[in-house]
Amino acid sequence: MARPFTPKVITANALLEGDVVYLAEDGAWVRRLEHARLFEDAETAEATLVAAGANQMIVGPYLADATKGASGPEPAHFREEFRRTGPSNYFHGKQAEL
């Protein structure tokens, strides 16, 4: 029996910088998870993922589990939390901005 679909975001890495990016509602790639589009049905998520894969400015797009938070999508798995916050060795990039 197939598992029921859970909400997801589309995430990838920016080709030139390597930054984690998320697909927003308007189709743009954004660097903040809370600005990502949250998909709540499997068909739309899969079709959008296929279309997103054609973008030559990103690599490795995939669907990541997420939950609906007060400010937008939130990670549902520790791997996505780690990707969202960036490297943990010292403050730079996204960490320095916060």
Tell me the pLDDT tens digit for each residue of 6-57. Answer: 999 999 999 988 889 999 999 999 999 999 999 999 999 999 999 998 989 9
pLDDT at position 38, please?
98
pLDDT band for 98, please (50, 70, 90 cuts): low
pLDDT at position 22, please?
96
d(CA 58, CA 71): 25
Q: Which two tokens stand for residue 23?
A: 């697909």
- Long-range residue pairs from 37-44, CB within 8 A, at least 24 positions apart, any chain: 37/9, 37/10, 38/7, 38/8, 38/9, 38/66, 38/68, 38/72, 38/73, 39/7, 39/8, 39/9, 39/10, 39/63, 40/5, 40/7, 41/5, 42/5
pLDDT at position 68, please?
95
